[in-house]
C-alpha cells in the first residue's frame, strides 16, 4: 500500500527558508519521479518541479529557479523540498506526488502548510 507522509506545518518569517519532507513507503522509492506542487489559500495548483530519486536529477519550474532545491535520501525513502528567501505569497499547502509508469502524479502526500508571516 503506497503512502507518502509529509512533515508537519511550518511558520516562517519572510526571508527565511523552509524544508519539507515526504517519506515514501509501499513501493520502490528510486523507481518513480517525485513532484512537488503547491496551492495558495483559495487558489489553484502550481507545479514546482520534480526529482528523480534514482540519481538525484532535478527539473524546476522557472518560476522557482534559484529559490527551490529538491533532494532525496534513498536510505530512508524520503524526498525533500527546500524553498529559500520566503515571501508572504509563498504561504501555501505544499504537496509531494509521485509518478507511476505512465500515470502522472497518481499518489499524493497529505500536504504541508507553510505560513510566511512577520
Residue ranges that bind another protein, judged by CB under 8 A: 35, 37, 44-47, 49, 59, 61-63, 95, 97, 102-106, 108-111
Asked if 103 and 35 touch (Cβ cutoff 8 Å), the reply is no
Please say which residue, 5 or 76, places its beta carbon nearer to another protein. Answer: 5
Minimum Å distance from CB 6 to another protein? 10
Please say which residue, 74 or 92, places its beta carbon nearer to another protein. Answer: 92
Asked if 109 and 38 touch (Cβ cutoff 8 Å), the reply is no
Minimum Å distance from CB 105 to another protein? 6
Please say which residue, 46 or 82, places its beta carbon nearer to another protein. Answer: 46
Minimum Å distance from CB 59 to another protein? 5
For 30, list phi and psi in degrees, rounded to 5.
-80, -5
Give exposure, 30-52, as e/b (b: 16+ Cβ within 10 Å).
eebbbbbbbeeeeeeeeebbbbb
Q: How many CB atoms lie within 10 A of CB 98?
A: 25
Minimum Å distance from CB 44 to another protein? 5
* Measured distance CA(47)–CA(57) in Å, rounded: 17
Please say which residue, 41 or 75, places its beta carbon nearer to another protein. Answer: 41
Amino acid at each position: 500500500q503506497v503512502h507518502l507522509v509529509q512533515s508537519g506545518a511550518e511558520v516562517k518569517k519572510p526571508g527565511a527558508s523552509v524544508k519539507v519532507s515526504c517519506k515514501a513507503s509501499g513501493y520502490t522509492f528510486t523507481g518513480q519521479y517525485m513532484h512537488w506542487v503547491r496551492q495558495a489559500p483559495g487558489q489553484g495548483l502550481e507545479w514546482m518541479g520534480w526529482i528523480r530519486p534514482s540519481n538525484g536529477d532535478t527539473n524546476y519550474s522557472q518560476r522557482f529557479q534559484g529559490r527551490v532545491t529538491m533532494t532525496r535520501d534513498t536510505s530512508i525513502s524520503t524526498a525533500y523540498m527546500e524553498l529559500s528567501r520566503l515571501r508572504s505569497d509563498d504561504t501555501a499547502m505544499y504537496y509531494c506526488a509521485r509518478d507511476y509508469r505512465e500515470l502522472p502524479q497518481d499518489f499524493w502526500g497529505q500536504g504541508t502548510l507553510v505560513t510566511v508571516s512577520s
